[in-house]
Amino acid sequence: MVKHLACIMDGNRRWAKARGLPPWEGHRQGSKTIEHVVDFCLEKNISYLSLYAFSLENLNRTSLELNFLFSLIAQEAETVLNWALKKGVRITFVGDSARFPSSVVPHFASLEAKTAAETKLHVQILFCYGGRQEICRSVKEIARKVKSGELDPEAISDTTVAEHLWTCAVPEPDLVVRTGGAQRMSNFLLYQAAYAELYFSEQFWPAITHDDLDKAVDYFYECKRNFGK
């Protein structure tokens, strides 16, 4: 059963280019797609949705594009809050918080605080996120606890590592969907997705539909999950 759907939201810029639009218009349309995917999860009784919104590598994009992306967050925050409360959706942000642009931090904090009591769906937005960096951070935190005597090295297990990840508040994903045609993980949930089913869609993120997501879920149920047994 799909309880946690994770999405690599790829193809915003190519969607815009195909229509003769600047890249940021793809991001604008892509932000609207999120609500449709939330509706899909609610209809299918999916409890967790993880969205790869912005990677650490994305910080290398042009200042023009980055400024638009960060201003878009400010513009859309109230809209997102309204539909989240109406639909019973909790929203959290995870990633390297030290790298969060100062302009978005108040909006993230407000969304988290005001939706904290919602229980129908937990949407985890990965921002300034990188899977390798997340694992390194977990290892450093564990090493610190070992050094201070808080943790016995012999007690360290894969669960210990998972408990120190940025994403420790949600279970591992059952299904990872990547839009945009590429077939790679791009530093997304590298530790958590060890046993997830992977589905790659040719559709760009702004164009993804319920039918496309239905195909991904159908694919999941066709897979035999034996977890290495």
Q: Where residue 116 sits, what CATH number does that domain have?
A: 3.40.1180.10
> Has residue 138 been placed in a domain?
no
User: Is the pLDDT at 131 greater than 70, yes or no?
Assistant: yes
Identify the band that residue 176 occupies on the pLDDT scale cut at 50, 70 and 90.
very high
Q: 190 is in which domain, residue-wise?
A: 4-130+172-221
> Has residue 135 been placed in a domain?
no
Give catalytic residue positions: 10, 58
> Has residue 57 been placed in a domain?
yes
> Has residue 111 been placed in a domain?
yes
> Has residue 146 been placed in a domain?
no
- Count of structural domains, the chain: 1
Q: Tell me the average pLDDT across 39-44.
A: 98
> Has residue 140 been placed in a domain?
no
* CA 158/CA 56 separation, integer angstroms: 25
Q: What is the pLDDT of residue 224?
A: 75
Identify the band that residue 26 occupies on the pLDDT scale cut at 50, 70 and 90.
very high
> Has residue 49 been placed in a domain?
yes
In contact, 126 and 53? CB cutoff 8 Å? yes
User: Is the pLDDT at 229 greater than 80, yes or no?
Assistant: no
> Has residue 150 been placed in a domain?
no
In contact, 118 and 90? CB cutoff 8 Å? yes
User: Is the pLDDT at 118 greater than 90, yes or no?
Assistant: yes
Alpha helices per DSSP H over the chain: 12-18, 23-43, 63-87, 105-115, 131-148, 158-163, 210-222
